[in-house]
Amino acid sequence: MSMSCDQPDLLPLDEALTRLWEALPAPSLPSVRAGRDDPAMALATMDGVALRASEGRSPRRNLGTLFAGDDPSLFEVVPGTAVRIMTGAALPAGADAIVPVEAIEALGDHVRPRIDPSPGDHVRPRGEHAKAGDLLLAAGAPLNAARVALLAMEGLFQPAARRIRVAVASTGNELVAVPAPHQIRDSNGPMLSALAHTLGAEVELRPALPDDPATLAAALVHAGDIRILITSGGVSMGEHDHLPSVLKELGATILFHKIRLKPGKPMLAALLGDLLVLGLPGNPVSAYLNALLFLPLALARLEGRTRPDPWRHAPLRVAVKHKGDRPLMHPCRLVEGVLEPLPGGGPADLVTLAKADVFAWVEPGGTAAGAQVRYLSVL
């Protein structure tokens, strides 16, 4: 195995991921305090009958029914009475227990428990979860769906703040709608916008850009109100690979360019003001793999969520040879928990990519059959 041909200073993938994560601003949540007790009144936790536990199994006269959302002051459970009550309804005055409907016998306008009730049965007491003024969420907590619910509970939910706007633009003079044999269609654009859509972004697929620095610069400067521009192509060493120099001329901060990964080495990430540019390589498998690695991270950060950990582990059914000095991510099927490397799977091999369930991580030097490796699911 040779360690000589690749640049030894290529940025390791995990460092590139962390660098991107740390470079992006996370919207931080303010601290959230309870505006009222949670729950604000004692509530029924089962459908049943609200009654006075001290009256045991004796029959009571049913005064009526309380549904969730009903004002409980409609009723007062005085001795000898009860009120039918549904889950989520507030407990009427006088009642201190719920007997579930399954344990109730109906006798005309009376009800009789078949069990001995105890005070507090099937009642969620006022303030059980929080008292008014309690700290519910410390400032700066990452957002997740449960915390969105908590914000909504407190009347603080802002739905408009949730979707990140992403634009996708391929680059390359060879990309045309009706290709002659020396030309191709833009497959990366639809692929990357589908991925961004799957990841919950608001996506706009733009027409492919020609390999012309001025056009590229104009597209970057007039990106509009998007947060992430995903490009593909034009980031390697070719004479038409203009994106890195155009970004530099515009004064962008290059977060990294070139990572220690096969395929996908030319990967570029840059900040142009507030705009994150993910400059993916043009080869479809490289573009897809890098998008799978970097886009979920960027979206999570910009949405204020915790850093996602997409890695899983499974054994390889067969040994994978790998002579290069960059880690290889190879397309595999995942069959009953075992990774089966697909034949082929080079950086331009969309046919194999479309058969893959995952990309498996193969260290330089190769990996033995049965070895546990980390893998990333395709989306």
Provide the token pair at 357. 């369930």
Q: Could you say which DSSP state residue 360 is in? A: E
The nearest distance, CB 378 to ligand AMP, in angstroms, is: 17
Binding mask 102-131 vs Mg ion (x if CB under 5 A, - otherwise)?
------------------------------
In three-state secondary structure terms, 262 is: strand
Contact 62, 51 (CB under 8 A): no
Contact 377, 358 (CB under 8 A): yes
CB of 38 or CB of 186, closer to ligand AMP: 186
Amino acid at site 135: L
Binding site for ligand AMP (CB under 6 A): 170, 172, 174-175, 184, 186-189, 232-234, 236, 238, 281-284
Binding mask 231-270 vs Mg ion (x if CB under 5 A, - otherwise)?
--xx------------------------------------
Query: How many C-beta atoms surround the C-beta of residue 4 within 10 A?
Result: 6
Binding mask 159-178 vs Mg ion (x if CB under 5 A, - otherwise)?
-------------x------
Residue nearest to Mg ion (CB): 233
| 232 interface partner picked from Mg ion, ligand AMP, none, CB below 5 to 8 A per type | ligand AMP
The nearest distance, CB 326 to ligand AMP, in angstroms, is: 17
Residue among 309, 285, 314, 322 nearest 375 (CA): 314
| 62 interface partner picked from Mg ion, ligand AMP, none, CB below 5 to 8 A per type | none
Instruction: Kindly indicate which of the ranges 61-69, 93-101, 220-228, 275-283 contains the residues binding Mg ion, using the contact rule CB under 5 A.
Output: 275-283
In three-state secondary structure terms, 142 is: coil
CB of 81 or CB of 286, closer to ligand AMP: 286
Tell me the site size for Mg ion, rule CB under 5 A.
Answer: 4
327 has which bridge partners? Answer: none
Provide the token pair at 265. 């080495």
Q: Could you say which DSSP state residue 89 is in? A: P
What DSSP letter does each residue of 13-67 carry, written as one string?
HHHHHHHHHHHSPPPPPPPEE-SS-BSSS-EESSSEEEE-GGGTT--EEEEEEE-
| 174 interface partner picked from ligand AMP, Mg ion, none, CB below 5 to 8 A per type | ligand AMP
The nearest distance, CB 339 to ligand AMP, in angstroms, is: 26
Binding site for Mg ion (CB under 5 A): 172, 233-234, 282
